[in-house]
Structure 1
């Protein structure tokens, strides 16, 4: 990484961002799923700053008080406090803690980056909620997003909120969905609010994030065996159901469902579909607020043809430059290259580098 690091410094020259650090992360045997997510989170600046502040206030907890949050805060502080501008960090302590906390990540097999992100945010919130004595209360929420679906992996927003507390993780990533059901007999609308930390979207060939969001919020008819029990009619009735983003989050995380279970094959298959993700995203078609605008700052890319093997890299935008973090290696890339990660227009293609998790930051909301 020494040569690569010095090359990166030469590219920036005298314009190297003040106070910024670009460090690769050592791979401990198929831990690219972890490294790619960590890089995306590190360059989520509001999250990073709050994590560094957390470390400054809790750096003397000792080994007895060690948990995933303290390990993550320690890792981010290590990177942030390096004297050198570039290099490699070994996130050994953090990875060991992940394996201790969750047996699913103990093997050296290929793991799913989205599952890891969801696990990590859940644990961070649990720790903060348990340690919080003076937190703001939130509306009553449910632990999971339910939506009628076919197949084994239902669309979900991976929402959760076990206690009426709000943490700085929520302040960054949490949004609110409204699940509306309208009885077609009496026209009564039943609405239920649910929180989410990321949105999992079904994808189609030659589509876009905007179109995926429209499909997510599309109206669904409940009939036959799926009729809705209307409290006003006191009986099962045909109804229309749809999901809307009621309150968009400060950081919008979008997970593209690239792995689909194929019954004929008896296994999951990777969908290499071309899904365009814009640098600037508007949510006007999905939310009550027509002015929700976001800017892309990180993409976790899955490299490979299947869900059980492959590689993950992270593309991050920092100080108006795009960089590719591939474990220990870090290099600058041109923004035009981002289009090569949209996916493949054909079912079979030599290009297997596809955008998998997208990180957008609000450009006009400060919650």
Structure 2
């Protein structure tokens, strides 16, 4: 980082707390998809704190069997315990583990950041659930944070399903969607709940996150060949279907579907559409409370014209200041610069840096426990 590092250190000055660290991550040959997501997760403060807590509470971690969770905890500990405020760290152990575990990430080809994020969060959940089950079978009691007290019930008609385990990963990222279908003959509403760790939204040109969310929850009519079998009418009927957010998560991760398969071309094409993502977001289409408010704290940006090549960088908000992370390089940017990543208003534009994954943290008091 050299001169750039000292320049950043000077820029950081007294505006940031003593304990905060801003480290670039070394690229091991097209691992920018991994680095950009790891930076967003590191600056997801509740997640980082619980991961470091997990590390501290598992003193035998060094002797334990290595997995993605132990490698991630080790990496975050390394960053947070650096003597200097800035610098570069090589996430070698984590990347090696990732490649060993999943052949998709084994090659040196360009990978998808959203696919990686999805895989990582689900893998962390699996590891924590296995550890909790192992602890219970050994006669230990699980910690309150790992009990399923607040978890969504499995929606089985006989009601015999046990509540699933809720880990601290769930507590940060998991929300509940409800899929409502209303029979247009008898007006009976059938609701089915499902959990999510991130929301994938279809995008349109010159739109906004709010309009994309409205489209996500818009009513669809099921008729002709798509009729719905109504249990009350005991027959296929016309119906209306819509998806709502029943329980908003603490950390709302929004994935913009920028890669679309074009049949005529026989391949995926990148949509460079301009989609405005606000710094403060209000969720109005939720079932529980209409005023779930969120603040943007990280954006993973895809740079390039297509899905199979390009580059990923991330923008991160830390203590009311924005920083730009591009593998080993870290610099401070103005808040106004975030708007340059909304996308292009014209179909053909020289600007190929587009917001791809958005990370919002809930700021309202209700439901943030």
Does structure 2 retain, via aligned residues, the 8 Å contact 1:182–1:240?
Answer: yes
After the TM superposition, which residues 4-83 of structure 1 pair with which residues of structure 2 at under 5 Å, given as runs? Answer: 4-62=4-62, 65-83=65-83
- The reply to whether residue 124 of structure 1 matches residue 161 of structure 2 is no
Does structure 1 retain, via aligned residues, the 8 Å contact 2:244–2:285?
Answer: no
Does structure 1 retain, via aligned residues, the 8 Å contact 2:152–2:163?
Answer: no
**In structure 1, C-alpha distance between the alignment counterparts of 2:183 and 2:306, rounded to whole Å:** 42
Which sections of structure 2, spanning at least 5 residues, go unmatched?
137-141, 156-161
Does structure 1 retain, via aligned residues, the 8 Å contact 2:230–2:236?
Answer: yes
Does structure 2 retain, via aligned residues, the 8 Å contact 1:40–1:316?
Answer: yes
C-alpha deviation, 1:125, in angstroms: 0.1
Encode CA deviations 1:103-136: one digit per residue, 9 max, x unaligned. Answer: 0000000000000000000000000001114232
Aligned match of 1:150: none
Deviates more, 1:1-10 or 1:11-20: 11-20
Does structure 1 retain, via aligned residues, the 8 Å contact 2:55–2:61?
Answer: no
**In structure 1, C-alpha distance between the alignment counterparts of 2:3 and 2:200, rounded to whole Å:** 39
**In structure 1, C-alpha distance between the alignment counterparts of 2:328 and 2:181, rounded to whole Å:** 49
Of 136, 149, 156, the match for 2:147: 136
Encode CA deviations 1:265-310: one digit per residue, 9 max, x unaligned. Answer: 0000000000000000000234431120000000000000000000
Aligned match of 1:153: none
**In structure 1, C-alpha distance between the alignment counterparts of 2:16 and 2:199, rounded to whole Å:** 34
C-alpha deviation, 1:64, in angstroms: 5.0
**In structure 2, C-alpha distance between the alignment counterparts of 1:279 and 1:14, rounded to whole Å:** 24
Aligned match of 1:194: 194
Aligned match of 2:264: 264
Which sections of structure 1, spanning at least 5 residues, go unmatched?
143-161
Deviates more, 1:126-135 or 1:23-32: 126-135
Alignment coverage as a number of residue pairs: 349
Does structure 2 retain, via aligned residues, the 8 Å contact 1:273–1:343?
Answer: yes
**In structure 2, C-alpha distance between the alignment counterparts of 1:47 and 1:64, rounded to whole Å:** 22
C-alpha deviation, 1:101, in angstroms: 1.1
TM-score by length of 2: 0.92
Does structure 2 retain, via aligned residues, the 8 Å contact 1:299–1:359?
Answer: yes
**In structure 2, C-alpha distance between the alignment counterparts of 1:270 and 1:141, rounded to whole Å:** 37
After the TM superposition, which residues 75-114 of structure 1 pair with which residues of structure 2 at under 5 Å, given as runs? Answer: 75-114=75-114
Does structure 2 retain, via aligned residues, the 8 Å contact 1:181–1:240?
Answer: yes
Does structure 1 retain, via aligned residues, the 8 Å contact 2:248–2:286?
Answer: no
**In structure 1, C-alpha distance between the alignment counterparts of 2:26 and 2:173, rounded to whole Å:** 27
After the TM superposition, which residues 1-367 of structure 1 pair with which residues of structure 2 at under 5 Å, given as runs? Answer: 1-62=1-62, 65-132=65-132, 133=136, 134=142, 135-137=146-148, 138-141=151-154, 164-364=164-364, 365-367=367-369
TM-score by length of 1: 0.93
Does structure 1 retain, via aligned residues, the 8 Å contact 2:245–2:285?
Answer: no
